[in-house]
Amino acid sequence: MAFKSKEDAKAYWSENIRLMLVLMVIWFVVSFGCGILFVDELNAIRIGGYKLGFWFAQQGSIYAFVALIFVYAKKMGDLDRKYGVEEK
């Protein structure tokens, strides 16, 4: 089992990197962005008793991390099948 061509191998890898970069940007925004850098601005908004920035720092970022990994696993599975390199 291998890539059909050199171009395929290149395309697979660059799609993988693109997916990774998009997810890493989200990873950065939910934790460092919402939880630290813009925490004061977000704290002006409230959900129930939570200030939004505080919620991201102590709750929201963690939920987002879990979602990110499962999205990555799902999308990579699709990508493997698209290029025929999934495990049998």
CA 5 to chain CA centroid, Å, is: 29
Question: Do residues 56 and 35 touch, judged by C-beta distance below 8 A?
Answer: yes
62 lies in the site for another protein, by CB under 8 A: yes
Question: Do residues 19 and 75 touch, judged by C-beta distance below 8 A?
Answer: yes
54 lies in the site for another protein, by CB under 8 A: yes
> Which one-letter DSSP state was computed for residue 45?
S
49 lies in the site for another protein, by CB under 8 A: yes
Site for another protein, rule CB under 8 A: 1-3, 9, 12-13, 16, 20, 23-24, 27, 31-32, 35-37, 39-40, 43, 47-51, 54-55, 57-59, 61-63, 65-66, 68-70, 72-73, 76-77, 80, 84-88
